[in-house]
């Protein structure tokens, strides 16, 4: 299959390589030429614009930073829509505002182009091991066409609903993981300040109702004081911004997510944005000790 792929960063690069290894021909475009180097040894053609990628592909994947980037790639000058053949499917795997995804989908539909929002969870490690969780918003028949390709990149692939539904699921994921990481950090700081062995607390709680993957994995990283990302705190900050924007649009109260978003502002504002989200622990420690 002829597959376009744009956004060859930490996540996109291994994802695209999985598709090449499965025997597909890649059509690539990147802002920086250096991003294309890892693809010298696989079946891949380099192009001068997203429009040119779209001319050669049946399906184009994008995974970039935020909604304006997706919009520019899809609908901007020399964007995918300009070069698209009838029936092209654009699959955006970035994390963006659900409403922005719906708007991009509607604009592409006017031009006869199918759109799928398919944000992922699982981080760089999940991308390298083809073990991502992929949350999809699409028409069912379009989903069926893309599903075999999703299965080369991820382990858990779920059609959630119509366009935008994938992003809603991802927003829910970020509420749960954001609040979850902060809850574990608060509990660990509480235990430590009470002079209790935090590792034992974690071990005990893993057997009970407080068990969670975050307590297990992120909790272990906090114990090891391993703040390497993982998932960078500034990206979590961005994702929580999307959640809060959407909540505001709907007049929806999210008190725990709101408090968590502020804590992520503090993490990034204290210069720990490049750390993993488990840096929440460092921030709480700093704020609960004398200057």
- DSSP assignment of 231-247 equals SBHHHHHHHHHHHHHHH
Q: Does 274 bind other proteins (CB under 8 A)?
A: no
Of 172 and 196, which CB lies nearer to other proteins in the complex structure? 172
- Checking phi first, is residue 289 left (phi over 0); if not, alpha (psi -120 to 50) or beta? beta
Which residue among 259, 274, 286, 288 contacts other proteins (CB under 8 A)?
Answer: 259
CB contact at 8 A, 19 and 153:
yes
Which residue among 61, 273, 275, 280 contacts other proteins (CB under 8 A)?
Answer: 273
Question: What 3-state DSSP class applies to 209?
Answer: coil
Of 17 and 235, which CB lies nearer to other proteins in the complex structure? 235
Q: Does 75 bind other proteins (CB under 8 A)?
A: no
Residue 71 annotated in active site: no
**Residue 40, number of CB atoms within 10 A of its CB:** 8
Rounded CA separation 142/258 (Å): 35
Q: Does 86 bind other proteins (CB under 8 A)?
A: no
Per-residue binding letters, 201-240, with other proteins (x by CB under 8 A): ------------------------------------x---
Torsion (CA) 256, 227, 281, 231 in degrees, nearest 10: 0
Which residue among 44, 80, 171, 263 contacts other proteins (CB under 8 A)?
Answer: 263
Residue 88 C-beta: closest distance to other proteins, Å? 32
The burial of 232, by beta-carbon neighbours within 10 Å (0-12 exposed, 13-18 middle, 19 or more buried), is given as buried
Which residue among 10, 106, 206, 258 contacts other proteins (CB under 8 A)?
Answer: 258
Rounded CA separation 165/140 (Å): 12
- Catalytic center residues: 170
**Residues found near other proteins in the complex (CB under 8 A):** 237, 241, 244-245, 247-248, 250-255, 258-259, 261-263, 265-266, 268-269, 273
């Amino acid at each position: 299959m002829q597959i376009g792929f744009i956004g060859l960063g930490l996540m996109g690069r291994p994802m695209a390589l999985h598709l090449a290894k499965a025997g597909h021909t890649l059509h690539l475009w990147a802002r920086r030429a250096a991003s294309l180097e890892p693809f010298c040894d696989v079946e891949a053609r380099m192009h001068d614009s997203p429009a040119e990628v779209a001319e050669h592909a049946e399906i184009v994947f994008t995974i970039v930073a935020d909604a304006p980037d997706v919009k520019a790639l899809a609908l901007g000058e020399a964007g995918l829509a300009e070069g698209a053949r009838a029936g092209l499917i654009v699959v955006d795997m970035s994390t963006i505002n659900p409403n922005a995804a719906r708007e991009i989908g509607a604009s592409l539909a006017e031009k006869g182009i199918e759109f799928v929002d398919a944000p992922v969870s699982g981080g760089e490690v999940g991308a390298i091991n083809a073990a991502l969780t992929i949350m999809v918003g699409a028409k069912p028949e379009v989903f069926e066409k893309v599903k075999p390709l999703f299965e080369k990149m991820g382990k858990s692939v779920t059609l959630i609903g119509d366009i935008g539904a994938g992003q809603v699921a991802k927003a829910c994921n970020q509420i749960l993981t954001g609040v979850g990481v902060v809850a574990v950090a608060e509990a660990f700081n509480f235990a430590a300040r009470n002079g209790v062995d935090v590792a034992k607390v974690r071990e005990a709680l893993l057997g009970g109702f407080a068990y969670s993957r975050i307590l297990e994995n992120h909790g272990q990283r906090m114990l090891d004081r391993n703040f390497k990302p993982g998932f960078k705190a500034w990206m979590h900050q961005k994702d929580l911004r999307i959640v809060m924007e959407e909540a505001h649009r709907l007049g929806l109260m999210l008190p725990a997510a709101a408090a968590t978003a502020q804590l992520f502002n503090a993490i990034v504002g204290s210069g720990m944005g490049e750390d993993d989200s488990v840096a929440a622990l460092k921030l709480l420690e700093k704020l609960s000790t004398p200057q």
